[in-house]
Amino acid sequence: MKILLCLWQLPQVLLAGIVIVFLKMRRVPVKKEYYKGIPVYWYTMDTGWGVSLGEFILLANRYNETTVKHEYGHTRQSLMLGPLYLLVIGIPSAVFNNLWDRLFHKKWTSADRSRWYYNRLPEKQADRLGGVVR
């Protein structure tokens, strides 16, 4: 069953492997914990991001429990979408939400940016699936 799941989420699993190897090669401290059976890799960097790839969650250590829940929502999206996850969730999240926000919302307050960000698909759905109440 684990092998079928790995094949279903193969693009995400491969990308997660690359990111984890990259963090280890750069000797970034990484602490592994579990959330609802999903490994969460907390890494220590001044700036950082959070991402859910297949059965892996990678988070900079500045994030909190709410972000873990949100990423767990993305984990559930990945389960549902399988090979389409990066196309439907990953790319829109990275390009249209993150990049768009950084380019066009520079003058917004961080609260307004956060509200805008988490009201967009697929972020709103990830919150709902992860049980996040904002």
Binding residue (CB under 5 A) for Zn ion from 13, 89, 123, 127: 123
Which of residues 4 and 9 has its CB atom nearest to Zn ion in the complex?
Answer: 9
Give the CA diameter of the chain: 48
Binding residues for Zn ion, total number by CB under 5 A: 2
Phi-psi region of 54 (alpha: psi -120 to 50; beta: other; left: phi over 0): left
CA separation (Å) from 88 to 11, 34, 50, 82?
13, 26, 17, 10
From 11-19, 20-28, 79-87, 123-131, span contacting Zn ion (CB under 5 A): 123-131
Amino acid code (one letter) for 134: R
Half-sphere exposure of 76 (CA within 13 A, CB side): 17
Stretch that binds Zn ion, among 1-9, 55-63, 78-86, 115-123 (CB under 5 A): 115-123
User: Is residue 127 within the footprint of Zn ion (CB under 5 A)?
Assistant: no
Question: How far, in Å, CA of 97 to CA of 116, rounded?
Answer: 9
Piece in contact with Zn ion (CB under 5 A), picked from 11-19, 23-31, 109-117, 118-126: 118-126
Q: Choose between 1 and 110: whose C-beta lies nearer to Zn ion.
A: 110
Binding site for Zn ion (CB under 5 A): 123, 126
